[in-house]
Amino acid sequence: MNLKHELRNKGYNENNIRSLKSYIKYILKSNKRSVLIFSSILFGVVLFNMIIALLIIKFSSSNSSSTVNSGALMSGFISVSIMASVSALVWTSKAEVNKAFVFPINRQIYALGNFISSIMGSFIFLIITSLISIFEILMGNLIAMIFNNFVFINEINMSNFIPGFFVSLSYLMLFIAASYCFGVYFVKNKIIVSAILGFVFILAITFPWPRQAIVEVFKFFFYEKSIAISCLKLWGTAMILHIAAFIPVRSMEVKV
Amino acid sequence: MSVEKVIECCNLTKKFNMKTALNNLTFSLDENKIIGLIGRNGAGKTTFLKTCAGYIKPSAGSITIWGEKVFNNIDVLSNMIFVDEEIQYDTSSRLKDIIDLGKTYYKSWDNKFALKLARYFNLDLNLKYKKLSRGMKTQFNIIMGLSSRSPLTLLDEPTLGLDAAIRKEFYNILLKDYMENPRTIIISSHLLSEIESLLEEIVLIKEGSLVLHESVETVQEYGIYLNGKKDIILPFIQNKEVLNVEVYGNDAVAAIKNDLNKNETTYLSENSIDISKVPMQDVCIFLTKSKREGGFDEFEA
């Protein structure tokens, strides 16, 4: 069938699906290095803690003990939050946008692909963190079995791990969405965004109410006791931020 | 069999702030042809190709590809590839990973052909894109452009940075591949003389406006040089469409539009005026020359 007629016969979305799948593959592949660096650092931190604890046991008096807390999950989450936020900001730079558009995608696929890959990327990072945490627990318990004066404190169990995983994922989604949205608007108009930030900063140091508002926003996201409501707030806000970011992206010109 | 239109522009205009890059372009291009997009630096060639590729939006007028609007249209974009010197693949990716991505993005991707070309150009696919020299990058970009087998292939100065031998090889490969897999290929290039033999049509633009859109045969016949005594040539060309005149002492060389009748040809021969065809490259240069008269010698800053 002739291509012109094929295009007119728009009963399928084969091109959309192929392009979206390929774009997500592209993002995940290009972040392979970040995953490796992150895994190595976190793994290194866990090993370092264990080695230090063992050295303390070896070089201290026989009745003194060494205590290690299972900290891989928290260290991993903090590292992922920082890395993911920075990555999301970098995505929006002109160079990265140009790279993305080398292959056939449109703005809708770009935005949707960024959203989906942010979920997938966060999920992958958290899975790696969890695996390293399991390694840390196994190693801690093994050392504790060998050395009596080694104390390994593990507060993680399945009943707090699973909800913790989803809350962490939700927070990551919020951090990424906030960075991404900020980046998109900043690239679109650096002067206006800088002026707004400057204005808010001046207001915050001049009047008490902006500071109060910031505290309220902080409380809204971080002081929620119900896990379900917390996830709902975080995902809802992340979605709103992605939709807000799509407004300038929809008509964005590339390679200008 | 009717020939389908691939690109149709109607009063296509693109402005960047105060600068008009494309100015009321109206023309259409047929499918399955190799078309040369010719113009001087800043004529609007790249802007036109970027508009075709959906990177930028027209300020006014319209451009349709296969009858569809281009901007944000994934069905159109999936069937085209745009290769230019600024192309930015992920620099930390290995060449084989980029080729692998091409395979997933383009439904007509010919992986066997991509690997064959890479071997032919001696490109190590385990190399990272950032490790390539400029010439190697150009070669790799060409591989991506040809292997996609996109029904619309846009090549913006595709041989920049390549030496003459590789440029020639590339044009041979392009022509052979086109014969085996006909598609619409638009090539923008400064080196018209090199691509002349490939092209079927020429679109010549100057300062964003269309100067001519003709078959190569028409452009090859477009102009003639008159070479001889200036006393004969200068009065003769007064009522002609003059492309260029250069005077050397008592002699002159004039390039005019090829519309001589039999009597005029006889008159020129009787007065020992040599008549020869103006090469296509010169036609394009004359038709797009700047408003400054004379050359650098007569130019006053």
Q: Give residue-wise pLDDT tens across range A111-164.
A: 999 999 999 999 999 999 999 999 888 888 888 888 877 888 888 888 888 999
pLDDT value of position A92: 94
Alpha-carbon gap: A103 to the closest alpha carbon of chain B (Å): 7
**Could you tell me whether strands B274-277 and B223-229 are parallel, antiparallel, or unpaired per DSSP bridges?**
antiparallel
For range B222-243, the mean pLDDT: 92
Q: Which residues of B touch A4 (CB under 8 A)?
A: 4, 66-67
Tell me which residue in B55, B89, B97 faces A99 most closely, judged by beta carbons: B89
Res. B67: pLDDT tops 80: yes
Please, which pLDDT band fits residue A54 given cuts at 50, 70 and 90?
Answer: confident
Q: Which residue of B has its CA nearest to A14?
A: B75
Distance of CA B46 to the CA centre of its chain: 10
Alpha-carbon gap: A45 to the closest alpha carbon of chain B (Å): 26
CA dihedral A100, A101, A104, A110 (to 10 degrees): 60
Q: How far apart are the first and last CA of chain A?
A: 35
Tell me which residue in A2, A25, A108 faces B104 most closely, judged by beta carbons: A25
Interface test with B, best of A1, A5, A7 (most B CBs within 10 A): A7
Listed in sequence order, the residues at least 6 apart from A55 whose beta carbon sits closer than 8 Å to its beta carbon are none
Contact A104 B106 (CB under 8 A): yes
Q: Which residues of B touch A11 (CB under 8 A)?
A: none
**Could you tell me whether strands B223-229 and B209-215 are parallel, antiparallel, or unpaired per DSSP bridges?**
unpaired
Q: Does B3 contact A at CB distance below 8 Å?
A: no
pLDDT value of position A1: 47
pLDDT value of position A159: 85
Domains in chain B: ranges and CATH: 5-219 (3.40.50.300), 223-277 (3.30.70)
Contact A255 B86 (CB under 8 A): yes
* Helices B95-105/B111-120 angle, 10° precision: 150
pLDDT value of position A58: 78
Instruction: Quickly count: other Cβ atoms within 10 Å of residue A61's Cβ.
Output: 6
Contact B104 A21 (CB under 8 A): yes
Q: Which residue of A has its CA nearest to B4?
A: A4
Residues B103 and B113: their CA atoms lie apart, in Å, by 11
> Among A47-51, A53-57, B233-237, whose mean pLDDT is lowest?
A53-57
Backbone Cα Rg of chain B: 22
Q: Does A98 contact B at CB distance below 8 Å?
A: yes
Interface test with B, best of A5, A15, A249 (most B CBs within 10 A): A15
Residues B67 and B4: their CA atoms lie apart, in Å, by 10
pLDDT tens digits, one per residue of B39-51: 988 899 999 999 9
Contact A3 B73 (CB under 8 A): no
Please, which pLDDT band fits residue A33 given cuts at 50, 70 and 90?
Answer: confident
Find out whether A196 and A101 touch, Cβ atoms under 8 Å: no
Q: Does B77 contact A at CB distance below 8 Å?
A: yes
Res. B2: pLDDT tops 70: no
Please, which pLDDT band fits residue B70 given cuts at 50, 70 and 90?
Answer: very high
Tell me which residue in A19, A26, A253 faces B74 most closely, judged by beta carbons: A19
Interface contacts A/B by beta carbons within 8 Å: 93
User: Strand order of the sheet with strand B5-16?
Assistant: B19-30, B5-16, B60-65, B68-69
Contact A18 B50 (CB under 8 A): no
Tell me which of A211 and A63 has the higher pLDDT: A211
Instruction: Quickly count: other Cβ atoms within 10 Å of residue B67's Cβ.
Output: 15
